Amino acid sequence: MMADVHRVASDGFSNSAPTYARGRPEYPEELLAWLQRDIGLGPTTTVIDLGAGTGKFTRLLVRTGANVVAVEPVDAMRAELAVGMPGVHAIAGTAQAMNLPDGSSDAVVCAQAFHWFADERAIVEIHRVLKREGRLGLVWNVRDESVDWVAAITDIIKPYEGNSPRYYKGDWRRPFAGGLFSGLEESCYSYVHVGAPQRVIVDRFLSVSFIAALPNDEKLEVAGRLSKLIASHPQLKGRESIAFPYQTHAYRCTRI
């Protein structure tokens, strides 16, 4: 199964599951209405949370009243989800092999994950598990780099990125050319992650896959540079709590 998981994702997320659960942002409240209205979730529906990770987005899915099945290939991430959300059915699986019956779900939702497995096999598998005219939802929290200290964080981490799949590169759109789904419809929401700088900056960016996969000495160097930014930037230094700005991009399409 893990052969279908990108090595950077497998190594990074295996190493950083507790940091991921602690440091990653939640999602804007407006997405609850989007899930109900645009994805069609409610008490009589079943939704697959594909690439569920530690359950950050799973919590929002549960609030729709839908039956949630969490699919996550990385054992450490799935273990964190099980601790935080023991009532959710979580299974080992990948986007290319979910181990679920044909037409078993009204919707599939991928939050902060689709770029890792955006290929034709995944699109075919998502199509297979969806009911006729089932919905696919894709969600990403995107840093607002118009804020100078957010842009400075990107400058710190980007040299380590290599060829890791990333949302901003847009490669994740290519598999939709096959005609299995309708055109993507985008919605955008503002979100602010409020908390201690250690959590919303240091923990957050140490949980980035390609940072978490680094040798320990390099991770310590990244942590040190992030801490130096917090200690020196006028909008960050001396603050017990900060507001980290995001734009949340949500896409939906329908199974053809």
Both tokens of 171, joined, read 């490669």
Residue 251 or 210, more confident: 251
pLDDT higher than 80, residue 5: no
The DSSP annotation for 97-143 comes to B----TT-EEEEEEES-GGGS-SHHHHHHHHHHEEEEEEEEEEEEEE
207: which 2 tokens? 């949980």
Q: How many CB atoms lie within 10 A of CB 76?
A: 16
If we measure between CA atoms, which residue out of 192, 189, 247, 252 comes closest to residue 30? 189
For the chain, what percent of residues have pLDDT higher than 90?
Answer: 83
- Per-residue pLDDT tens for 87-104? 999 999 999 999 999 999
> Which residue(s) pair with 190 in the sheet?
247
**14 or 110, which is more confident:** 110
Q: Mean per-residue pLDDT for 145-150?
A: 97
Higher pLDDT, 4 or 114: 114
Rounded Cα distance, 209 and 211, in Å: 5
Question: pTM for this one?
Answer: 0.91
> For residue 35, what are its two tokens?
């899930």
| φ and ψ of 47, to 5 deg | -125, 140
**2-141+164-191+245-254 has which fold?**
Rossmann fold (3.40.50)
Average of per-residue pLDDT values in the chain? 92
Tell me the C-alpha distance between 79 and 17, whole Å. 9
What pLDDT is recorded for position 16? 55
Tokens of 108: 């599939």
Q: Give me the mean pLDDT over the 118-129 stretch.
A: 97
First-to-last CA distance in the chain? 27
Please give the pLDDT value at position 8.
52
Nearest to 60 by CA among 114, 112, 129, 133: 112
| pLDDT value at 15 more than 70 | no
Q: Which residue has the tokens 């957010």?
A: 150
Q: For residue 64, what are the CA distances in angstroms to 32, 136, 214? A: 7, 16, 37
Beta bridge partners of 148: none
Confidence (pLDDT) at 12 = 44
- Name the band, by pLDDT with cuts 50, 70 and 90, for residue 4: low
pLDDT tens readout for residues 182-215: 999 999 999 999 999 999 999 999 988 889 889 9
- Buried b / exposed e over 86-98, threshold 16 CB at 10 Å, is eebebeebbbbbb
Q: Is the confidence at residue 132, as pLDDT, over 90? A: yes
pLDDT of residue 9: 45
- pLDDT at position 13, please? 52
77, pLDDT greater than 50: yes
> Do residues 223 and 128 make contact, with C-beta atoms less than 8 angstroms apart?
no
